[in-house]
Amino acid sequence: MNPSPIGIFDSGLGGLSVWKEVKKICPSESLIYYADSGNCPYGNRPAEEIIRLSAAITEFLLDKGCKLIVVACNTATSAAIQYLRAHFEVPFVGIEPALKPAATLTRTGHIGVLATRGTFAGEHYRRTREKFASDIAVHIQVGEGLVELVENHQTDTPEAEKLVRQYLEPMLEAKVDQIVLGCTHYPFLLPVMQKIAGERANILNPAPAVAQQVKRLLEKHKIAAPENSEAVYTFFSSGERAQLMEMVGRI
């Protein structure tokens, strides 16, 4: 048993989609969330820079006594998780596009993946695709501009709908019936995505599976908080604290 907090970080507010699921299935765990909104987006940054930023945040979270760290960012997982695991002793949970469930669920043999340029460029994505989706058609789309919409609380604007439509329609026309959200910011655009996709496609958010993995690792390492502990939720941002707290208030 270990009452220390779990650290969760992202390039910005997107990882709150993961935070919310961890909070739901690990209600006794205290959570420290770090939004690197001051450096957001990570998507087009070189891998070395993302490694440097992720290592600095990890050190910050370890200084706060975190017992496990969730890299709640596909782009940072892709660029930095190997480095983090090699340089820090604490267990890490990462996040990657949910190609496996999409490949299992598809009836048309076409799946869509929406992610950042950094995630698509990474070795991690290439290996996952080869392993789970080598025999199906994968339609990829860089979600340029979507992270900024979420960071600026513009998810229910006509601009958001226009951009999401521009990205999803070509996939839907290509008979995609599963759309994988390969960036933790994108679940905040789910209402507009569902409106556009309607019955044509199922949209896959990997955040609940990440939370399950957190629970499994807590049990495996015997570091879960005692049952019925009073969880404390703490938030840090390298950007505007008000922007972060507004989003926390919304979810």
CB 203 within 8 A of CB 193: yes
* 75 CB-near residues (< 8 Å, 6+ apart): 11, 42, 43, 50, 115, 116, 118, 119, 183
- CB-wise, 9 or 132, nearer to ligand DGL? 9
Which residues share a beta bridge with 8?
33, 70
- CB-wise, 126 or 220, nearer to ligand DGL? 126
The secondary element (H helix, E strand) that includes residue 196 is: helix 190-197
Site string for ligand DGL, 179-208 (x = CB under 6 A): ----xxx-----------------------
- CB-wise, 11 or 238, nearer to ligand DGL? 11
- 75 binds ligand DGL, rule: CB under 6 A: yes
- CB-wise, 19 or 225, nearer to ligand DGL? 19
**Does 26 participate in catalysis according to the annotation?**
no
- 238 binds ligand DGL, rule: CB under 6 A: no
Name the closest residue to ligand DGL (Cβ): 43
Name which position in 14, 94, 187, 206 contacts ligand DGL (CB under 6 A). 14
**Does 66 participate in catalysis according to the annotation?**
no
- 10 binds ligand DGL, rule: CB under 6 A: yes
Helix 74-87 with 47-63: angle, nearest 10 deg? 60
- Using CA of residue 208, residue 209, residue 214, residue 218, what is the dihedral sign? positive
Which residues in the 95-124 window bind ligand DGL by CB under 6 A? 116, 119
Name which position in 35, 84, 147, 211 contacts ligand DGL (CB under 6 A). 147
Number of residues this chain uses to bind ligand DGL (CB under 6 A) = 17
- CB-wise, 113 or 223, nearer to ligand DGL? 113
The span from the CA of 56 to the CA of 42, in Å, is 14
Which residues share a beta bridge with 182?
115
CB 41 within 8 A of CB 11: yes
CB 207 within 8 A of CB 187: yes
Q: How far is the CB of 12 from ligand DGL (least distance, A)?
A: 6
The span from the CA of 217 to the CA of 194, in Å, is 32
* Residues annotated as catalytic (active site), given as ranges: 73, 183
Q: Which residues bind ligand DGL (CB under 6 A)?
A: 10-12, 14, 40-43, 73-75, 116, 119, 147, 183-185
